[in-house]
Amino acid sequence: MTDEIRAEIKRLMKEKGLSQRALAEKLGVNEKSLSRTLLDRGKPAGIWPDILDELGVELTLKRKGS
C-alpha cells in the first residue's frame, strides 16, 4: 500500500475513534500484526480487505490519466 493510502486509513481510524489496539481486536488479529501491516513492514498480513471493510471503505484502482 502507498503512503497516501496508509495515511487515509489512519485518518479514518481517528475519525471513527479507533486505536490500533481496538481495530486489531475487531479484526481478530494481534496489534503487532496490524501495526506491521499499516507500516508495510515484514510479511504482509493479508488483512487489508478486513481493514477496509471495518472502516467502511473500498479500494478502487484506475489507470493513470483516466
The full set of domain ranges for the chain reads: 3-55
List phi, psi (to 5°) of 55: -85, -5
Q: Which three cell numbers stand for residue 7?
A: 495515511
Q: Does 3-55 carry CATH code 1.10.10?
A: no
What confidence score (pLDDT) does residue 1 get? 66
Q: Which amino acid is at 49?
A: P
What confidence score (pLDDT) does residue 42 get? 64
What confidence score (pLDDT) does residue 28 get? 93
CB 33 within 8 A of CB 24: yes
Give ∠ CA 51-33-49 in degrees, rounded to 5. 20
What confidence score (pLDDT) does residue 5 get? 85
What confidence score (pLDDT) does residue 63 get? 80
**Burial group, residue 23, by CB count within 10 angstroms (0-12, 13-18, 19+):** buried
- Residues of the chain below pLDDT 50: none
